[in-house]
Structures are given as structure tokens and as C-alpha cells.
């Protein structure tokens, strides 16, 4: 299986390298593992939903 580093995934997904590391640490990317100080992520991994972007349904704008 081919793996990408967190920097490569960050560029691919258009997010910061730190955000990718947080996804990995929280277990939100299946198959990602820590080797030394570097996260390795499967090449075919899907970008998880960003938990900071929560749309609140049913709320009207004021």
C-alpha cells in the first residue's frame, strides 16, 4: 500500500499540515499511523469532514 505524509495530504486536501495531524491524532483518517514523528496516511484516504464547519439547520438569520 502506498502512503502519503501529512504535508502531501495537506496540499492534496487544501488544508494545513497541522489540521491533517489533528485528523490523524483523533483517529478520523482510517489507516493513518505515526512512524517516529511523521504521520503516514494511505494514498486513497478520504478527507474527513471539518468539525469546525457545523451548519445549524433551522436557524434564521437576524
- Alpha helix locations (H) across the chain? 6-13, 17-25
pTM above 0.85, yes or no: no
> Containing domain of residue 7, as a range?
3-42
Count of domains observed in the chain: 1
pLDDT band at 46 (very low <50, low <70, confident <90, very high): very high
Q: Please choose, from the candidates 49, 28, 47, 24, the residue with its C-alpha nearest in 3D space to the C-alpha of residue 37.
A: 24
Q: Quick one: pLDDT at residue 56?
A: 64
Assigned domain for 48 exists: no
Amino acid at each position: 500500500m502506498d502512503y502519503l505524509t501529512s504535508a502531501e495530504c495537506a496540499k492534496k486536501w487544501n488544508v494545513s499540515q497541522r489540521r491533517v495531524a489533528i485528523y490523524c491524532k483523533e483517529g478520523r483518517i482510517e489507516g493513518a499511523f505515526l512512524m517516529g514523528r511523521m504521520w503516514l496516511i494511505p494514498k486513497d484516504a478520504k478527507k474527513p469532514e471539518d468539525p469546525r464547519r457545523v451548519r445549524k439547520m433551522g436557524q434564521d438569520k437576524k
